[in-house]
């Protein structure tokens, strides 16, 4: 793309496609769900429009990729970056040594709330005498048996620090320094 500023390192966040639980609003943290057929179609559509040589996300410009270890994120990564070479083959377009699979960008650990709907969580908490004056909010109240907002922040801060280290010496167009995160909403 001729209008892309090649001198600016970028970070792309690629959220996984649809799963059975994202379709109906269930909290999906550690449960390892695959993409639905519609989710596969979503990711393939994104890849065809945005990923490839000369496109917004050009594998030649990518210096690092971080991927959540959940099936839905791994599947999304594969659909985005495999089989996109110019010859139409199925070989990955991102070298393996540039890919890091890490819990640091895994979905929030919802603990006891895994697989539940917001209404179910709020109802259960209210029945147990919690949140009588104000409704449960994940950012304020966290998840029983799971992760707090502070814990999620700490692991994401580690990732941000790593990205800064990679990109800091390339902020003036010295070399391409794009980063891709294949993950969840967090």
Residue 174 a catalytic site member = no
Choice among 107, 114, 147, 184 that is catalytic: 107
CB 17 within 8 A of CB 40: yes
Choice among 16, 114, 147, 184 that is catalytic: 16
Tracing tokens 């620090």 back to the chain, one arrives at 161
Q: What is the DSSP string of 88-149?
A: ---SBSS-GGGEEE-GGGSPP--GGGTT--HHHHHHHHHHTT--SSS---HHHH--TTS--H
Residue 184 a catalytic site member = no
d(CA 122, CA 125): 5
Which residues are annotated as catalytic?
A: 16, 107
């Amino acid at each position: 793309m001729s209008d892309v500023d090649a001198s600016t390192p970028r970070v792309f966040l690629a959220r996984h496609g649809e799963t059975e639980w994202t379709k109906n609003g269930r909290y999906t943290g550690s449960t390892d769900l695959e993409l639905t057929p519609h989710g596969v179609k979503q990711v393939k559509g994104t890849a065809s429009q945005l990923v490839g040589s000369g496109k917004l996300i050009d594998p030649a410009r990518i210096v690092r990729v971080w991927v959540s270890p959940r099936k839905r994120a791994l599947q999304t990564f594969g659909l985005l970056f495999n089989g996109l070479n110019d010859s139409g083959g199925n070989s990955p377009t991102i070298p393996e040594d540039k890919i890091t699979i890490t819990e640091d960008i895994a979905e929030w650990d919802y603990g006891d709330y895994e697989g539940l709907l917001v209404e179910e969580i709020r109802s259960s908490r209210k029945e147990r005498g919690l949140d009588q004056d104000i409704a449960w909010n994940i950012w304020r109240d966290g998840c029983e048996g799971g992760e707090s907002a502070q814990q999620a922040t700490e692991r994401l801060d580690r990732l941000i620090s790593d990205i800064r280290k990679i990109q800091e010496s390339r902020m003036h167009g010295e070399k391409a320094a794009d980063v891709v995160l294949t993950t969840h909403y967090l």
